[in-house]
Amino acid sequence: MQTKPLGKQGLTASALGLGCMGMSEFYGATDETTSINTIHRAIDLGITFFDTADAYGPHKNEVLVGKAIKSHRNKITLATKFGIVRDPANAQLRGLNGKPEYVFASCEASLKRLGTDVIDLYYLHRKDPATPIEETVGAMAQLVQQGKIKGIGLSEVSSATLRKAHAVHPITALQTEYSLWSREPEDDIINTSEELGIAFVAYSPLGRGFLTGEIKTVNDFAPDDYRRLSPRFQGENFQKNLDLVNKIQQLAAAKNCTASQLALAWVMATYPHVFPIPGTKRIKYLEENIGALDIHFTAAEMAAINAIAPKNIASGLRYPEAMMGSINQ
Residue 66: C-alpha distances to residues 79, 108, 175, 222, 323 (Å): 11, 14, 21, 27, 29
Nearest to 212 by CA among 260, 177, 270: 260
Distance of CA 242 to the CA centre of its chain: 22
Given the residues 27, 56, 123, 285, the one annotated as active site: 56
Cα dihedral: 317, 281, 289, 80 (round 10): 70
- What is the Cα–Cα distance from 291 to 264, expressed in whole angstroms? 9
**Bridge-based pairing state of the strands 3-6 and 11-14:** antiparallel
| Cβ contact 261:288 at 8 Å | yes
- What is the Cα–Cα distance from 26 to 44, expressed in whole angstroms? 26
Percent helix, strand and coil across the chain, each to the nearest 5 = 45, 20, 35
DSSP string, 274-324: EEE--B-SSHHHHHHHHGGGG----HHHHHHHHHHS-TT-S-S-SS-HHHH
Nearest to 249 by CA among 262, 236, 239: 262
| Cβ contact 289:16 at 8 Å | yes
**Bridge-based pairing state of the strands 90-96 and 84-87:** antiparallel
Asked about 56 being catalytic, the answer comes back as yes
Helix/strand/coil for 57: coil
Cβ count within 10 A of residue 253: 12
Question: Which sequence positions are flagged as catalytic?
Answer: 56
